[in-house]
Amino acid sequence: MHKVLMGAKTSIQSSVYESMRKQKIEVDLIYRFADIFAWEIDFLTDTRKGDALKLIWEQHLSPEGKVVTQGRILAAQYINQGRIHTAIFFKDKENHSDYYTSE
C-alpha cells in the first residue's frame, strides 16, 4: 500500500456536506473536516452561500492503484463570511499529533 496526496476546493452553495459530496469527497472525510473546525465553526448555523473551503489529505492505495482508505487530513481551510480558518496537521518527536492554526 502507498500514499498519495489529494486535494479539493469548493465554494458553498447550500451546505458544506452537499458541496463536498459534489466534489466526490468521501463522507468520513467530510465528518473529519467538520471535527477539525468544530471548536470554531458551527457548520449547521454559521455557514453561508459563498463560503469556501480547501482540503489536502492522504489517500492509501493498493499496489494496483485502487483506493483502500482515506488517510489523515494534512491541511484544511474554511473561509466563513470572509474570515479565514486554517488547520495544519503536526506530529512531534514524541508522536503527539494535533491540528494547529497557521499562526
Query: What is the domain partition of the chain in residue ranges?
Result: 2-100
Does residue 101 have a pLDDT over 90?
Answer: no
User: Grid coordinates in use for 45?
Assistant: 448555523
Count the neighbouring beta carbons within 10 Å of the beta carbon of residue 99: 18
- What mean pLDDT comes out for the span 27-56? 94
pLDDT in tens, 5-36: 999 999 999 899 999 999 999 999 999 999 99
Q: Residue 70 and residue 7: Cα distance in Å, rounded? A: 12
Q: What is the pLDDT of residue 65?
A: 87
Q: Yes or no: say if 57 and 5 are a contact pair by the CB < 8 Å rule.
A: yes
- What mean pLDDT comes out for the span 79-100? 93
Q: What is the pLDDT of residue 67?
A: 87
Domain spanning 2-100, CATH class:
alpha beta
With cell 465553526, the residue in question is 41
- What mean pLDDT comes out for the span 93-102? 90
With cell 471535527, the residue in question is 35
Q: What is the pLDDT of residue 22?
A: 94
Give the pTM. Answer: 0.88
Q: Residue 92 and residue 79: Cα distance in Å, rounded? A: 27
Does residue 103 have a pLDDT over 80?
Answer: no
What percentage of the chain has pLDDT greater than the value 70? 99
